[in-house]
Chains A and B, each alone.
Chain A
Amino acid sequence: MNNNIIIEVKNLSYKYRSNKRINDKTEAVRIYKDAIAGVSFTVKKGEKISIIGPNGAGKSTLLLNLAGLAEQNNRNGEIYISGKILNDKNMYDLRENIGFVFQDPNDQLFSTTVFDDVSFGLVNFLNKKKDDKAQDKEFIEKVVRKSLAEVNLFDVENDMPHFLSFGEKKLVALATVLSYNPEILFLDEPSSNLDPKNRCDFIKLIKGLEKTIIVATHDLDLAYEFSDRTIILNKGKIIFDGVTKAILKDKDFLEANSLALPLMFNNTF
């Protein structure tokens, strides 16, 4: 494998269990839905990629699979992270290198203080390595402050996440993964529910991070501004993988796949 490749996905499929239905023979049968069907692609170190597609295209499922957070039994195909195959045995080791930021920051921020949330991953990481720094409060406080400063937040360590604004929660959610310095970041709908100013600041922030970043979004403006490469998913299949700037101007192609031109090009109003 090319040393420059950090993620390789080979023929990945993922099924969701759906409701029971009654078939023609009046038997109750369990229905499975394909969320992802035969997806293959590679990601180079430092690449910034957007995965776009309509609702239910399989974007979030793909990210969960890449992070080893989806149900293993429902998965087929292979995922390689830093050249190592992702499986039950090394899943926890590979996750050290992955930061996953969830769509809803309330899912990510479960502690009663920002400090506890930001230090959570770091402390787990250090304890796993049996590093003495796990007990070093000064070190942890320093890293927490640094991570929060990276996302332009100051003096919020002792605040309760619930009482932060939504934009601040999103930033803290990002800081929770920056604290243990992973090489790869997966961001699920990072711009959802953000006002224009916070959205703009957030895009600038993630664009400036020197990491491999994959963003799942249906915000095409975000994809246009943030990434050089775009993967378009529809009904669980990759229908485009290439240069962002070219595809996001192709109105016919986007409309054929339940998408629309980014607002910056859309002059229909």
Chain B
Amino acid sequence: MEKTTVSHNCFNLNARSKIIIALLTVFFLVSTSRGYYYILLLYFVLGIIIAVIFKPDFLFLIKRSILLFLFPLLMSIFIPIANKGNILFRFNIIFFDIAVTDNGITIFFTVLLKSFISIFILSSLVISTSDNELLHGLRKIHVPAILVTIIFIMYRYFFVIKEESRTGQLAIKSRIFKKSYRTLNKRLAFLAGNLLIKSFDRAENIYRSMESRGFDGNFYLTEKNEIANRLSWVLITCFILILISIKIIELLKIL
């Protein structure tokens, strides 16, 4: 059995409280202006506090955060050269004259820090909460039923499509008798197309199965009872106060 959350009697937050805390923190974090590294450091400390409260498996959290961080890192790689400002240094690569600006570097580091802290906080939320709790938590914070249901269905069929894809890949590999990436890649492209067609078929069958059980276009989700204990509200209030304080520090340029 793989453990993804640490048992701990001190805090016992429900999914709704976790979602509210995580989303609010990310919202305030994203609204930070560029170059305020001390403020971002405060958010990083806050992120660690959140992780301690949410109790995910830390090793897993760090691994996942680093892995996910590669995406924003690769996406923002051109920021230092794509912004105007004082030129710090210049490269001449054949026809390209590339200039790294101070402004570009500031935005680059701000984006990276913001994305890392956001990933860290959201990963703590996802790792420490079961998938169902998370989806029911979304309902509890009044995300529209249709949206939650779509997420439910996407989540449910992600596994089915993954399994079909795996089976399809095995079927292809079992009939390739010579190492040829060209043949393999060509067949995998066909498989992707095939999965798309299959998913249409499946969607039709699912709709039929829903229709046969009285589906009238409305989703009536049976919501699970969550005990909203006093501690959850106290923690949410504390976090809101901390976030507002950080925002005031940023606006008044105290640090």
Contact = CB atoms under 8 A, between A and B. Distances in A.
Given A64-B208, A112-B155, A162 B160 contact: yes
Interface stretch (B55-63, B77-85, B217-225): B217-225
Nearest to B163: A162
B61 to A, nearest CB: 22
Contact of B213 (A112, A134, A162, A176): A176
B212 A98 contact: yes
Contacts of A154: none
Given A110-B156, A115-B222, A123-B220, A180 B210 contact: no
B131 A112 contact: yes
A26 B132 CA distance: 56
A92 B131 CA distance: 33
A100 interface: yes
A180 B214 CA distance: 10
A116 interface: yes
Nearest to A123: B220
Contact of A120 (B155, B160, B213): B213
Interface in B193-231: 202, 205-206, 208-216, 218, 220-223, 225
Contact of A100 (B132, B209, B221): B209
A67 B210 CA distance: 12
A127 B211 CA distance: 14
A102 B221 CA distance: 23
Interface string B130-157: 0110010000000000000000110111
Contacts, number: 87
B214 A92 contact: yes
Contacts of B132: 112-113, 158, 160
A177 B214 CA distance: 11
Contact of A123 (B160, B211, B222): B222
A142 to B, nearest CB: 12
Contacts of A120: 210, 213, 215
A92 B212 contact: no
B140 to A, nearest CB: 14
Contacts of A108: 209
Contacts of A46: none
Given A110-B206, A112-B135, A140 B215 contact: no
5 contacts: A95-B214, A106-B160, A110-B156, A110-B209, A161-B156
Given A99-B213, A110-B156, A180-B213, 4 more contacts: A100-B209, A110-B210, A112-B135, A116-B222
